[in-house]
Structure formats: structure tokens, C-alpha cells
């Protein structure tokens, strides 16, 4: 087996959870499916709108579709054999365990800071051993060197962690996707940890 086949075969039995299918979640999902991660659980309660298309992994003809269904469709275009569980729902304390309890790694990809905080605290309380990869601080453009990863036990935070005024500093593809790729790259690092190369 070549190294890439070895990596792909190791990832094919792994399961990644993605909480949110916006700019971070949709792009993380694409990178993980391309890398060969076999099982994805994606939950989101939003629909695709035109302003999403400047950074999220959706297409103009998908406007009005639920993000999870549109994303599942796009991911299956990359790999028809990928097992993608799409859940059109808000993630709450009532369903988070059944959604993400069996995942090897969980990606936090919410929009609002208070949802990020709730989810991080819930995961730390209920699944302290499960790696949680968060995104925080992805707005604007320029100075890509300010993007970083903070490691804190099983919690990983990707982004610049800087507060900005949403009205003045918009979300744009390069920075959002860079942070999504940092999350996806860390997910591979964690999923491939025990893999003998």
C-alpha cells in the first residue's frame, strides 16, 4: 500500500461530527471527505441563501435547500461511497449525545459565540475525552499570520480569537476557509494519531 492509501484506509473507518454547516462546517466536511474520512455526522437548522455563497461550500442552484441536505449532495459528488448523516435540527442538550456520542472527533462550527460556549461546556462536561476542535475569530481579510491554534487538553481552538464589529468586518472566503482547513488538518492529526506509518 502507498502512504496515501494507508492514510485513506485508516480514515475510512473513522467518524467525524460537525456541529453547524455554514462557512466552517461545510468546508471542513469537504476536506474530510476528500481525505477519506468514511463517516460524517452533520447537524444544522439553516437553509442556503445567496449571501452564504461567498464562503460556504454550496452552489447557486441550491438556494432554499436545507444546508445539511445540500452539503450531503455535494459531499457525495466528491465520494459517492461516503456515509454522510445529515440532521436538519438545532443541536441541544437533548440530542447532542445521540448525534456526536459515537464520533471519534467533533468539530464545532457554529456562528454565535454563545452557542460555541454552550457547546464547548456541554462537550467538556459530557465527553471530556473526546477531541473538540473549535473555530473562533475568522472575520475580515489580510494578516493571515494572525491565525493560530490554541491547544488546551482535548480542546483545540482555531482562528485569531479577535473580536470584530460584524458590520464593518465581513466574513470572506479565504480567512473562513483557512480556519476550516486548520480544523480539518487538526482532525486528521487526531484521527491518524495511532496509525503506524
User: What x-and-dash track marks residues 108-137 binding another protein by CB under 8 A?
Assistant: -xxxxxx-xx--xx--xx--------xxxx
Give yes or no for residue 9 binding another protein (CB under 8 A): no
Minimum CB separation of residue 55 from another protein in Å reads 10
Q: What angle do CA 102, 103, 106 make, to 5 degrees?
A: 140
Nearer to another protein, 22 or 131 (CB): 22
Q: How far apart are CA 153 and CA 176, in angstroms?
A: 24
Minimum CB separation of residue 41 from another protein in Å reads 17
CB 15 within 8 A of CB 84: no
Minimum CB separation of residue 13 from another protein in Å reads 28
Helix and strand counts by DSSP (H, E) for the chain = 6, 7
Nearer to another protein, 76 or 147 (CB): 147
Q: How far apart are CA 53 and CA 56, in angstroms?
A: 5
* Residues in region 136-195 near another protein by CB under 8 A: 136-139, 150-153, 155, 157, 159, 161-164, 166, 171, 176
Any idea which residue has 494507508 for its cell?
Answer: 6
Give yes or no for residue 25 binding another protein (CB under 8 A): yes
Minimum CB separation of residue 18 from another protein in Å reads 11
Give yes or no for residue 93 binding another protein (CB under 8 A): no
User: For residue 58, how many C-alpha atoms fall within 13 Å in the half-sphere facing its CB?
Assistant: 29
CB 187 within 8 A of CB 24: no
Cell matching residue 2: 502507498
Q: How far apart are CA 122 and CA 132, in angstroms?
A: 11
Number of CB atoms found within 10 A of residue 34's CB: 13
Nearer to another protein, 172 or 192 (CB): 172
106 strand-pairing partners = 17, 132
Minimum CB separation of residue 176 from another protein in Å reads 8
Residues that bind another protein (CB under 8 A): 20, 22-25, 109-114, 116-117, 120-121, 124-125, 134-139, 150-153, 155, 157, 159, 161-164, 166, 171, 176
Amino acid at each position: 500500500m502507498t502512504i496515501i492509501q494507508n492514510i485513506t484506509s485508516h480514515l475510512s473507518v473513522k467518524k467525524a461530527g460537525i456541529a453547524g454547516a455554514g462557512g466552517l462546517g461545510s468546508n471542513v466536511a469537504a476536506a474530510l471527505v476528500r481525505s477519506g474520512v468514511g463517516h460524517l455526522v452533520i447537524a444544522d437548522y439553516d437553509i442556503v441563501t445567496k449571501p452564504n455563497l461567498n464562503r460556504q461550500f454550496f452552489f447557486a442552484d441550491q438556494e432554499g435547500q436545507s444546508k445539511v441536505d445540500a452539503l450531503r449532495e455535494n459531499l457525495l459528488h466528491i465520494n459517492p461511497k461516503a456515509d454522510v448523516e445529515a440532521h436538519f435540527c438545532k443541536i441541544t442538550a437533548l440530542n447532542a449525545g445521540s448525534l456526536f456520542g459515537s464520533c471519534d472527533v467533533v468539530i464545532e462550527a457554529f456562528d454565535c459565540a454563545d452557542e460555541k460556549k454552550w457547546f464547548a461546556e456541554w462537550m467538556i462536561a459530557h465527553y471530556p475525552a473526546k477531541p473538540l476542535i473549535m473555530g473562533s475569530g475568522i472575520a475580515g481579510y489580510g494578516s493571515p499570520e494572525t491565525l493560530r491554534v490554541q491547544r488546551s487538553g482535548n480542546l483545540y481552538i482555531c482562528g485569531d480569537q479577535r473580536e470584530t464589529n460584524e458590520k464593518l468586518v465581513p466574513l470572506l472566503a479565504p480567512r473562513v476557509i483557512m480556519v476550516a482547513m486548520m480544523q480539518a488538518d487538526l482532525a486528521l492529526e487526531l484521527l491518524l494519531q495511532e496509525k503506524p506509518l
